[in-house]
Chain A
């Protein structure tokens, strides 16, 4: 899985895309690990994510844990309603902050 990235004011923005489910979750996790650099703040922009299943949630959780261990601040943004509902139903929006907009996510990570 190719994950496009850019850096805005020192924050890494990773653009996740497609369906993050049982067949792609591992690939997604590895691809995310591959794009993570030295940035202390990371936003995953999910506007192109079409679906997330429990396997996808697990991948997000493992990434969030790794980032937390490294002291990296992490937020998600721009989810389609059907993706957001899966995060909300499972309480994942309480352990990984989810913002409606990319700017909102960027603001939240600033000191």
Chain B
């Protein structure tokens, strides 16, 4: 398996769908297993919406960069944005997955799912940019 996607998009839900379309196209071309497509797209939705809705507060004049590298043994996904610093590894506490129906909080689930699904999650603040790198091993 090989291939690379690089996209710079505006911070909107519509533009995030372009990223998902690009993933679908590569997955079809490279015959990715269905479970991998599902995992990668879920992660892209969770991280992408987090940046667009929370990082940028739905300001569509902002941009974010998306990069995906598919190799024989792994798929690496990278998001780069210029929103305020946000480290999902330390700033988003795990949801209490044992809480009852009344106590369960709505927030934090997306980041938690991403951390659970990916084998590696790295965050770096580089100048005024957040770089989130996610790796799933095949």
- Residues of chain A whose beta carbon lies under 8 Å from any beta carbon of chain B: 21-23, 51, 53-55, 57-58, 61-62, 64-65, 68, 82, 86, 89-91, 94-96
Contact = CB atoms under 8 A, between A and B. Distances in A.
Interface of B: 13, 17, 35, 38, 41-42, 45-46, 49, 95, 97-102, 104, 106, 109-110, 112-113, 116-117
Given A51-B41, A54-B109, A94 B98 contact: yes
Contact of A90 (B17, B38, B101, B113): B113
A54 B100 contact: no
Q: Is the interface of A mostly helix, strand, loop or mixed?
A: helix
B35 A65 contact: no
Contacts, number: 57
B98 A54 contact: no
Given A21-B45, A51-B41, A95 B106 contact: no
Given A65-B101, A91-B95, 6 more contacts: A23-B13, A23-B17, A54-B110, A54-B112, A89-B112, A89-B116
Contacts of B42: 51, 53, 86
Contacts of A94: 97-98
